[in-house]
Structure 1
Amino acid sequence: MNFSRVPSAVALGACTAAFAVTLSACGSDTAAPSASKSSTAPAVASTVTQAAGPDACPTAPPANPGAPEWTLPGATGSVAVTGSTDTSAPVVTVTAPFSVNATQVQTLQAGTGPVVAPTATVSVCYEGVNGRDGSVFDSSYQRGEPAEFSLDGVVPGFQKAIAGQKVGSTVAVAMVSADGYPQGQPRAGILPGDTLVFAIKILSAS
């Protein structure tokens, strides 16, 4: 995804929303893949905007997060995720370096809305964490606003996390590098081989 503000030290300047799920339109230190999709490379970014409307992403973590809703031991390290609520942001705790050998998706809380199609345009709140060092590299929760984009214009791991879920669900995904940025994304501090973890809340789909 390509956001104008990134919660870590990464500054993306004039880039617009959604850095971690789409290829950076403002450039990376690696060559961008061709527009054709493959199972091992992220899709070329389509238009991504800040979502309009009354929905907002809560910015504050919970006062007492309680037990994680998902704990995943990795090939190395581990991750524990508590999804967001209407009033609190998610909590993603990494024992670094965390890595997985296959992308894994976990529904934290099932929604009651319609099922999201693989090519739907969705509005989501999300937080992205790098498993290598546990750093947050992008978060619409910290911006307080959801992002809106088409699932056919995002990296494969993000599409795998959302497609087939119901609107209203909170979801977590730990994605292998091939489903994120196999060549890395230096402007976000993502290196080749990094496992990425996302906590996502699906607000709407069309």
Structure 2
Amino acid sequence: MKSTRAFRSAAIVAGAAPFVALLAACGSDAGAEPTPTSPAANGSSSAVAAPSQSPVAASCPSAPPAAGGTPEWTLPGTTGNVAVTGSTDSAAPEIKVAGPFGVTATQVHTLVAGDGPVVPDTATVSVCYMGVNGRDGSTFDSSYERGEPAEFPLDGVVPGFQKAIAGQKVGSTVAVAMDPADGYPEGQPSAGIQKGDSLVFAIKILGITG
């Protein structure tokens, strides 16, 4: 299984979702490393066994988006700017950074509103996501590249990721520009994230699983 890529105190997502685990790592003890498995809570690599409450897609598209499209969200930061195009049924999202990009307050934008149930702030969700570092524009984790959704509880991830998803409707695609305090205030070396880095995510909310 691939090594973990992102979250607050322990790997948070089930299955093969390395990033979200890194997201859980930011609240861990100093020097602690995230569990090198998928982002499942407490380092577990098994899927969360909860009854499905909404339809959940089985895969995340890995094909690149069509060239020449208009971004669905452009955001100037305190430095740099970012342009985000959400995923479709057949293509992954695109995040273009003119950097270094940074924000001093987390900002969330709904790219496409879904028509499913509203996501509670403590729900366990299934999502496709891409995470990009605003400092250098590098993709540090992507479930689209793996072709598999990530599943995790929103009360076990970094604040910025929870802010992006809670209150949205299932089926929505959203983007979030996350200030350092809502991501990894002290950095996350295993993902190439330095102290002070702002992060940008494109997320497709597939379903509520618990």
> Which TM-score applies when normalising by structure 1?
0.81
Identity of aligned residues (%): 66
Matches of 1:118 and 1:48 in 2, distance apart? 21
- 1:22 maps to 24
Q: Give the paired residue count.
A: 185
Q: Within the alignment, does 1:4 sit opposite 2:3 as a pair?
A: yes
Corresponding residue to 2:176 among 173, 178, 186: 173
- 1:144 maps to 147
Note the C-alpha offset of 1:46.
Answer: 4.6
Note the C-alpha offset of 1:92.
Answer: 0.2
Contact 2:132 2:139 in 1 (8 A): yes
Matches of 2:174 and 2:72 in 1, distance apart? 10
Contact 2:60 2:149 in 1 (8 A): yes
Matches of 1:186 and 1:166 in 2, distance apart? 33
Matches of 1:185 and 1:119 in 2, distance apart? 24
Runs of at least 5 residues in structure 1 that lack an aligned partner in the other structure: 7-14, 33-44
Matches of 2:46 and 2:98 in 1, distance apart? 31
- 1:98 maps to 101
Contact 1:46 1:150 in 2 (8 A): no
Cα RMSD (Å) of the superposition? 2.9
Q: Within the alignment, does 1:158 sit opposite 2:161 as a pair?
A: yes
The Cα offsets for residues 78-107 of structure 1, whole Å up to 9 and x where unpaired, read as 000000000000000000100001000000
Runs of at least 5 residues in structure 2 that lack an aligned partner in the other structure: 6-14, 33-40, 49-55
Contact 1:112 1:166 in 2 (8 A): yes
AA paired with 1:101?
A: T
Note the C-alpha offset of 1:49.
Answer: 5.3
- CA separation of 1:80/1:51 partners in 2, compared to 1, >3 Å: closer, same or farther? farther
- Which consecutive aligned stretches of 4+ in structure 1 deviate over 3 angstroms post-superposition? 45-54
Corresponding residue to 2:191 among 174, 188, 193: 188
Note the C-alpha offset of 1:31.
Answer: 2.9
The Cα offsets for residues 97-132 of structure 1, whole Å up to 9 and x where unpaired, read as 000010000000000000000000000000000000
Contact 1:20 1:138 in 2 (8 A): no
Q: Within the alignment, does 1:118 sit opposite 2:117 as a pair?
A: no
Note the C-alpha offset of 1:21.
Answer: 2.2
